Chain A
Amino acid sequence: MTEVRANNLTFHVQPLSTPQTSPDAPLVVFLHGLVVDNLSGLYLTLATPAATTGTRTLCYDLRGHGRSERPPTGYTLDDSVTDLHALLDALGEHRPVRLVGNSYGGLLALAFAAHCPDRVERIMLIESLVPTPGWGERMADTLTDAAVGAFDHNFTHMSGRKWDRTVNQVEQLIGHTTLVADMGEQEPFSPERYAMVSMPVLAVYGSESELLPEVSVLQKYLPQLELEILPEQSHMLLTRATGLVREVLARWLR
């Protein structure tokens, strides 16, 4: 099953487990980043090793990304939360899940946990955005830069066909949806919203990440936060230090 209807949209989902995995095993849901991302990054880096440890895993493309439907509107963080909620309902997943979020996906994990803490057992953040004042505007600026071709050099190794498709996804999202406008209006998390996030949270950041200075905010509002800083790594932690992140994930899954 790779397509699921939820919240009136068709989502591309990729469940992965091994033939020996029990249907009662806990579910780990992987949440990817915005615009130049889709489920494949997390699937090929973290879902495959997680599946071999006997857990069930689920990757899905956020609305507008990868092979999920791209409606013209509905790109706020709350919309992402509603989508995830509807998706878990559609899949019949009512027991608490584990969330792993990369970049914007980390923020989505926190927002979802604040929305329904009884449905989340634990969270692993990888280079998560931090919902400080202005986070949405900063995101919108980054996205606009991406649209005019100021891509992270990380993507320049792509060959012609892949490059064209990546550019196409960015152009479609930036040019034909309300994503940038929606991001520009995002509010910071209130202390009350943070307080709803009561489950264990592990956060992994690169020592050179531009997000690292903001992590103190997470530490302030999430006293249970465990922080793991990987030396000499940037925001591109997942692709540049896949092996190290896998080691952290393996410990976190135990």
Chain B
Amino acid sequence: MSYADLAPAVEQQVLATVTELLTAVIGQEYAQSIDITMDTSFNEDLELESIEFVALSAKLREHYGSRVNFAAFLADKDVAETVGLTVGHLVRYLADCLAGERGAAP
């Protein structure tokens, strides 16, 4: 089985996790009013504050532990670029980290 076969499944899992943690950050009521997909923008669609993005990244760090290097993902983006990301950008990065880990496993 190659990475190409795994990718969609991993992405779906990660999207579910991101959606769940995002809902915890912004509140159930607000999250339910928006259909969160890979194309959802943190800034335009979710009107996510910077501090909420930080809270989300902390929850993701807790969830995935050392398998994901968040600092590296954000280190070259300024604030506008970061909050301008889509859910898909984040999901694909996380899925790549996890798939890479799978690929490295015996």
B70 touching A161, Cβ below 8 Å = no
Please pick, from B55, B77, B79, the residue contacting A41 in the complex, using a CB distance under 8 A. Answer: B79
In angstroms, Cα B106 to Cα A49, docked, is: 32
Please pick, from B44, B55, B69, B79, the residue contacting A45 in the complex, using a CB distance under 8 A. Answer: B79
Chain B neighbourhood of A161, CB < 8 A: 47, 49
Chain A neighbourhood of B75, CB < 8 A: 48-49, 51-52
In angstroms, Cα B81 to Cα A242, docked, is: 11
In angstroms, Cα B77 to Cα A43, docked, is: 12
In angstroms, Cα B47 to Cα A39, docked, is: 18
Q: Which chain B residues (58-83) contact chain A, with CB distance < 8 Å?
A: 58, 66-67, 69-72, 74-79, 82
A52 touching B58, Cβ below 8 Å = no
Q: Which chain B residues (17-48) contact chain A, with CB distance < 8 Å?
A: 43-44, 47
The stretch of A14-22, A88-96, A208-216, A224-232 that contacts the partner chain: A14-22
A44 interface residue per 8 A CB criterion: yes
- Give the distance to chain B from A127, nearest Cβ to Cβ, in Å: 16
B50 touching A44, Cβ below 8 Å = yes
Question: What mask results when residues 92 to 109 of chain A are scored 1 for a CB within 8 Å of chain B, else 0?
Answer: 000000000000000000
- Give the distance to chain A from B98, nearest Cβ to Cβ, in Å: 13
A14 touching B58, Cβ below 8 Å = yes
Please pick, from A2, A41, A48, A159, the residue contacting B50 in the complex, using a CB distance under 8 A. Answer: A41
Chain A neighbourhood of B70, CB < 8 A: 16, 48
A19 touching B66, Cβ below 8 Å = yes
Q: Which chain A residues (232-248) contact chain B, with CB distance < 8 Å?
A: 239, 242-243
A33 interface residue per 8 A CB criterion: no
B54 touching A40, Cβ below 8 Å = yes
Please pick, from A16, A44, A59, the residue contacting B79 in the complex, using a CB distance under 8 A. Answer: A44
Determine the residue in chain A with the shortest Cβ distance to B26: A161
A5 interface residue per 8 A CB criterion: no
B71 touching A16, Cβ below 8 Å = yes
Chain B neighbourhood of A41, CB < 8 A: 50, 79
Question: What mask results when residues 1 to 43 of chain A are scored 1 for a CB within 8 Å of chain B, else 0?
Answer: 0100000000000101111000000000000000000111101
A242 touching B71, Cβ below 8 Å = no
Chain B neighbourhood of A66, CB < 8 A: 51
Chain B neighbourhood of A51, CB < 8 A: 71, 75
Chain B neighbourhood of A43, CB < 8 A: 50, 54
Determine the residue in chain A with the shortest Cβ distance to B68: A19
B51 touching A239, Cβ below 8 Å = no
Please pick, from B54, B55, B66, B69, the residue contacting A44 in the complex, using a CB distance under 8 A. Answer: B54
Please pick, from A48, A159, A160, A162, the residue contacting B71 in the complex, using a CB distance under 8 A. Answer: A48
- Give the distance to chain A from B43, nearest Cβ to Cβ, in Å: 7
12 contacts between A and B (CB under 8 A): A2-B58, A14-B54, A38-B50, A39-B51, A40-B49, A40-B50, A40-B54, A41-B50, A44-B53, A44-B77, A66-B51, A162-B49
- 9 smallest CB-CB distances across A and B, nearest first, come from A40-B50, A19-B66, A51-B71, A161-B47, A48-B74, A40-B51, A49-B75, A242-B78, A48-B75
